């Protein structure tokens, strides 16, 4: 039996085909219908409208609903539970539904409010995000990003590293004015690729502190399973599992205004003898990041379940 981990993607992996790719799967369809009833709108119709699909107020709950539908389809064919789970940013909520910490209904309600809180936190602030990338093995990317962010920031406007995604990719967020003008400074420090992302919410930056405060009040009124979850979830803030309601809530509240330590999370799983990783959700973003984080080794398997045909292959990995 191969020990494996499941990974749940976050916002940005959504696409118009993410439901069509599972046409004919009854378990998937039933789960999507259940989520539509909870949310009070037809997910299938929303996805047909790309402007709504990419509106964070819809994107966050729909990503969770789709990832959990895929998880349920996968689980119906799998003989063994994963040893670990993790979710990138929003995907952490999907992971907590998968392991039983949160109910699907509570989770969809939380992420719907979370999306509103994030938008509200940007009131009066022009925000942005950018991906900073380098394939140069002689460059210490994290040190350069941290130093550059500090040098370009001031008391009124700032940028911060918010996603430590892989050795060659770190995402920054903060005030749009600095985001839009930071490329030249990064290039003087040897960074060749700076890609400004088409978003206005400065996710995981300290601009989101008001969102964190509101989330705390909301989560405190939720039913959260403290023990006996199906498997541990490694949280974004410190790549560790949380066992108490207090710690789970604190981690989720800190997460929205703190960096996502994705590279650290994947390395921790690998160092604990995990060599098979299955991405549960639309797209292949996390599978791509794993190819940059993990060593080149034929024994390491990274698969994504973004369409129904991939389920059998993934089940074959964890049932070996």
**Active centre residues (catalytic):** 89, 204
What's the CA gap between 112 and 186, in Å, rounded? Answer: 36
Beta bridge partners of 7: 86, 279
Please count the CA atoms within 13 angstroms of the CA of 81 that sit on its side-chain side.
Answer: 12
CA triple 114-307-68, angle to 5 deg:
35
What's the CA gap between 263 and 165, in Å, rounded? Answer: 5
Tokens of 123: 């009131």
**Distances in Å between the alpha carbon of 271 and those of 224, 230, 268, 274?**
29, 21, 5, 7
Task: Tell which residue, 58, 49, 152, 173, has the closest CA to residue 108.
Answer: 58
What's the CA gap between 192 and 103, in Å, rounded? Answer: 44
95 contacts 282 by C-beta, under 8 angstroms: no
Question: Within 10 Å of residue 270's Cβ, how many Cβ atoms?
Answer: 18
Task: Tell which residue, 293, 299, 305, 304, has the closest CA to residue 320.
Answer: 299
Task: Tell which residue, 74, 4, 2, has the closest CA to residue 269.
Answer: 4
84 contacts 234 by C-beta, under 8 angstroms: yes
Measured in degrees and rounded to the nearest 5, phi and psi for residue 301 equal -120, 130
What's the CA gap between 297 and 188, in Å, rounded? Answer: 35
What's the CA gap between 67 and 224, in Å, rounded? Answer: 20
């Amino acid at each position: 039996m191969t020990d494996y981990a499941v990974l749940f993607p976050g916002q940005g992996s959504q696409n118009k085909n993410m439901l069509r790719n599972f046409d004919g799967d009854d378990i998937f369809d039933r789960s999507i219908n259940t989520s539509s009833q909870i949310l009070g709108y037809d997910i299938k119709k929303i996805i047909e409208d790309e402007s709504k699909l990419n509106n964070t107020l819809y994107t966050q709950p729909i990503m969770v609903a789709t990832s959990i539908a895929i998880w349920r389809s996968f689980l119906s064919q799998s003989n063994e539970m994963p040893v670990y789970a993790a979710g990138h940013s929003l995907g952490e909520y999907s992971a907590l539904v998968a392991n039983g910490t949160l109910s699907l209904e509570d989770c969809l309600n939380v992420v719907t409010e979370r999306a509103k809180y994030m938008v509200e936190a940007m009131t009066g602030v022009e925000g942005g995000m950018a991906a900073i990338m380098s394939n140069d093995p002689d460059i210490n990317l994290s040190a350069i990003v941290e130093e550059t962010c500090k040098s370009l920031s001031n008391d009124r406007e700032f940028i911060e590293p918010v996603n430590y995604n892989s050795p060659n990719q770190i995402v920054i967020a903060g005030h749009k004015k600095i985001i839009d003008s930071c490329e030249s400074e990064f290039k003087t420090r040897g960074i060749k690729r700076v890609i400004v992302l088409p978003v206005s919410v400065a996710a995981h930056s300290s601009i989101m502190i008001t969102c964190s405060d509101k989330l705390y009040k909301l989560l405190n009124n939720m039913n959260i399973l403290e023990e006996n979850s199906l498997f541990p979830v490694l949280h974004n803030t410190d790549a560790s599992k949380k066992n108490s309601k207090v710690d789970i809530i604190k981690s989720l509240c800190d997460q929205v205004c703190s960096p996502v330590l994705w590279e650290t999370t994947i390395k921790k799983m690998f160092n604990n003898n995990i060599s098979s990783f299955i991405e549960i959700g639309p797209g292949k973003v996390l599978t791509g990041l794993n190819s940059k984080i993990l060593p080149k080794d034929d024994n390491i398997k990274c698969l994504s379940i973004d369409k129904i045909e991939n389920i059998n292959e993934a089940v074959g990995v964890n049932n070996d």
